[in-house]
Amino acid sequence: MPSTLLITLLLMLLTAVILAKVLNLPRNIWLLFLVQPLAMSASPVIVFIGGILSTQLAPDPSLATLPLTLMIIGIASSTIPAAMLAKKFGRKKAFNIGLSLSCVGSLIAMFAAMHASFSLFLIACLCIGSSIAFIMQFRFAAIDSVSNSDDVAKVVSVLMFAGIFAAFIGPEIALMGKDWLASPYGYAGSFLGLAIMVFISLIIFQGFTDPVAHHDHAQGEERSLITIIKQPLFIIAILAAAIGYGLMSLLMTATPLSMHNMQGMSLINTKWVIQSHIVAMYLPSLFSGLLVKRIGLKNVLLLGIILFVGVTIIALNGQYLMHYWWTLVLLGIGWNFLFLTGTVLLAKCYRAVERYKVQAINDFIIFTVQALASLLAGWILFKGGWDILVYSTMPFILLIFIANMFFYRLNYAK
């Protein structure tokens, strides 16, 4: 096993041990911390090599982004079924289904690469996307696993930080396994390696215990979804998470196209900017939970909004390497603050009996917005240019700023 991947896995294990000892978190949390990066490595694998492989497999090179699109559609369309399965069978059985689906999707992708079948590769990406919808709900299982509501921000930030390992594990697997198996255009072995990683995560996950939600602020009769959605906190939670995800996806998807295809920058520089962005997305999770405790959700949300304003200022000031780098780094940190705020606030909007349907509609909205943003990114960029793309984010930044002003007016301590 190449040293980079081995070092990453050892660091992930060491971090899990430290979190378990220092933060005194329940076993479920550090198990999820180990399982999530291994399972979520499927996403960066598709992002990294999906388009490269599809340019050879697809009947028309213009269809090369279709696998990524189907993966995102798989995420959005499976959020509600994932939550409903968790409600009916428990989170452990539902997550086992999701992880198994990822294994199957990885093996289908392997056979697609071996037999140069584009249609089979599309099915694989749809399966992998569906599995990610289950994995994205790990954060709700983590929330249910703590008895003190003050720990919610801490465990959410811990699970978000785990994403940084997936960002490194996925590409390493893709490169390491590229030539493991004979295939017309390569990469069949990459998906075999991915299937192995997901299978390992499935084995580790068997130590997980279905949690009982202790922290819910109200018990009793289940309210209608309309009643829940009308809550000001719910609206603010959805806006924070969905706008954060949508704008992040819009600019992140367009950046490699703008840098490499339109500005002629090298792939090395482009990769550096994207990797810096991924680190910026997840590294703040080391302290964002503590930040919530110190200054409150309202101010963390405001910091995220200020960072997004900084993104637009820098992005409109030029298109040199450091402009892109600072734009993507601030974008990553801003996303972290907005998504954390939205997730923590959501947990305050439902009763225990309501959590599955509320979590389902929350993720459906978020990942539908992400899918639309990803699909629109290239179109806006090539039709209007980089500046128009950046200007298109401003109404949404203003909208979440207005929502935050209402947040300050609510009778909510932090």
Determine phi and psi for 178, rounding to 5 degrees. Answer: -50, -45
* Residue with the larger pLDDT of the pair 289 and 361: 361
The highest-confidence range among 80-94, 180-194, 350-364, 391-405, by mean pLDDT, is 391-405
Which helix (H) or strand (E) covers residue 404, if one does? helix 394-409
Number of Cβ within a 10 Å radius of residue 387: 11
Number of Cβ within a 10 Å radius of residue 402: 11
pLDDT at res. 198:
93
Q: What is the CA radius of gyration of the chain?
A: 20
DSSP state of 216: -
pLDDT at res. 62:
63
Residues 6+ apart with CB under 8 A from 185: 53, 56, 57, 113, 116
Tokens 């301590």 appear where? 413
Task: Give the separation between CA 99 and CA 201, rounded to whole angstroms.
Answer: 8
Name the burial class of residue 217, with classes exposed (0-12), middle (13-18) and buried (19+) by CB atoms within 10 angstroms of its CB.
Answer: exposed
Res. 215 pLDDT band, cuts 50 70 90: very low
Task: Give the separation between CA 281 and CA 247, rounded to whole angstroms.
Answer: 13
Determine phi and psi for 154, rounding to 5 degrees. Answer: -65, -50
How far are the Cα atoms of 16, 155, 291, 326, 396 from residue 287, in angstroms, in the given order? 16, 12, 6, 20, 26
Res. 218 pLDDT band, cuts 50 70 90: very low
What are the structure tokens assigned to 45, written together?
């694998």
pLDDT at res. 43:
83
Cα torsion 43, 90, 282, 75: sign = positive
Res. 217 pLDDT band, cuts 50 70 90: very low
The highest-confidence range among 136-145, 209-218, 381-390, 393-402, by mean pLDDT, is 393-402
Q: Please give the average per-residue pLDDT across 280-289, as a whole number.
A: 82
How far are the Cα atoms of 25, 82, 167, 200 from residue 88, in angstroms, in the given order? 27, 10, 32, 26
The highest-confidence range among 145-154, 188-197, 218-227, 346-355, by mean pLDDT, is 188-197
What are the structure tokens assigned to 38, written together?
């291994």
How far are the Cα atoms of 14, 16, 112, 136 from residue 105, in angstroms, in the given order? 29, 27, 10, 17
Domains of the chain: 1-208 (1.20.1250.20), 224-414 (1.20.1250.20)
* Residue with the larger pLDDT of the pair 354 and 411: 354
> pLDDT by residue (tens digit) across 163-198?
888 878 887 888 888 888 888 888 899 999 999 999
Per-residue pLDDT at 83 exceeds 70: yes
Task: Give the separation between CA 361 and CA 226, rounded to whole angstroms.
Answer: 11
Per-residue pLDDT at 38 exceeds 70: yes
Q: Please give the average per-residue pLDDT across 271-287, as a whole number.
A: 82
Task: Give the separation between CA 60 and CA 32, rounded to whole angstroms.
Answer: 40
Helix, coil or strand: residue 374: helix
What are the structure tokens assigned to 234, written together?
């719910």
Per-residue pLDDT at 50 exceeds 80: no
Per-residue pLDDT at 268 exceeds 70: yes
Dump the DSSP string for 75-108.
HHHHHHHHHHHHHHH-HHHHHHHHHHHHHHHHHH
pLDDT at res. 411:
58
Res. 76 pLDDT band, cuts 50 70 90: confident
Tell me the pTM.
Answer: 0.78
Lowest mean pLDDT among 87-91, 116-120, 214-218: 214-218
